[in-house]
Amino acid sequence: MTTLTMKDANGKDAGTVELDAAVFAAKINVPLMHQVVTAQLAARRAGTQSTKTRSDVRGGGAKPYRQKGTGNARQGSIRSPQFTGGGIAHGPKPRKYDQKTPKKMVKAALRSALSDRAAEDRILVVDGWGIDSPKTKDARRALSALDISGTALVVLGADDEAAALSFRNLPDVQVIAATELNAYDVLCNDWIVFTADTLPTDGADKSADPLGDAITEVVEGVAEAVEGVAEAVQEVVEGAVETVTEVVEGVVEGVVEALTDDDTDSAEAETADDTESPAGSEADQANAAEADGEAEPTDTETS
């Protein structure tokens, strides 16, 4: 950081202040500053110029003369661009001249412009203006005490309303709010005068972003909500898995019991069949023997 002597409204030393190297000692990029300044000037154009075409000019509804036989070139209207009093061909119409410039380029151009003024020792820091009521005499006296010659850009805060009303009547002084500081106004003035409260720093630029803070808060809130939903979904899934597991276990137990009962019944039936089959076979054998004994005498008698 660069150390700079801070002044008061009377031109006396009031201590020292550190200039942020990221803002006042950055690399000076002339093409970047040119592009940003050109875009800023283009955005200032009103773009309200307008010319009348042949359809806007009054008159000319009838054909001036017949198509053939006159020896002249064929014409359809006396309000065509080639006639005096006719419309303008391809004339300017209202349009916007804005150029889209990324915010990073705008901030980099501002840092480059401030660094250029700091390299030429054209940066002043005042601890306070001490103007309680609007008086142009007090503003002129303060600039004379600071030994400022040429044009000056006075950067004021929101609480310096009296100072702003005092400086605005001076022809060589441009008053600007700290939130509106830009590369074009810095380059257009010989001196840049800050107060201790409006001195820009790289950390202040990052923290003074209410939109970024709001977006961060919204993103954090959405992340918390998503986490809550994920936890609720996980609990529901775990409960469903437990329920399905219990149902499956019950079904498996029922099937196993049913299969066990069937196996027991089958074994008992087979045991009963094995027990009855020997008795039946003996009865069959006795009946067969009796039949054979009766059949033999019958054969003898016949013979």
Specify the range with the lowest mean pLDDT, choosing from 24-28, 36-40, 278-282: 278-282
pLDDT band for position 189 (cuts 50, 70, 90): very high
Provide mean pLDDT across the span 188-193.
95
Provide mean pLDDT across the span 30-46.
96
pLDDT band for position 207 (cuts 50, 70, 90): very low
pLDDT band for position 258 (cuts 50, 70, 90): confident
Query: What integer pLDDT is reported at residue 71 of this predicted model?
Result: 95
Q: Kindly report the CATH number that applies to the domain delimited by 2-25+115-203.
A: 3.40.1370.10
Q: What is the DSSP string of 13-57?
A: EEEEEEEPHHHHSS---HHHHHHHHHHHHHHH---------TTTS
Domain extents in the chain: 2-25+115-203
CB 162 within 8 A of CB 131: yes
* Whether this model's pTM surpasses 0.85: no
Percent of the chain with pLDDT over 70: 82
Query: What integer pLDDT is reported at residue 206 of this predicted model?
Result: 43
Specify the range with the lowest mean pLDDT, choosing from 59-63, 79-83, 274-278: 274-278
The answer, yes or no, to whether residue 276 has pLDDT greater than 80, is no
CB 189 within 8 A of CB 173: no
Mean pLDDT in the chain? Answer: 84
Provide mean pLDDT across the span 158-169.
92
Query: What integer pLDDT is reported at residue 1 of this predicted model?
Result: 64
Express each pLDDT in 116-138 by its tens digit: 999 999 999 999 898 889 999 99
Percent of the chain with pLDDT over 90: 53
**Side by side, which strands form the sheet with 123-126?**
13-19, 2-7, 123-126, 191-195, 152-156, 173-177
DSSP state of 68: S
Provide mean pLDDT across the span 184-211.
79
pLDDT band for position 252 (cuts 50, 70, 90): confident
Query: What integer pLDDT is reported at residue 275 of this predicted model?
Result: 54
Rounded CA separation 263/253 (Å): 15
Rounded CA separation 107/115 (Å): 12
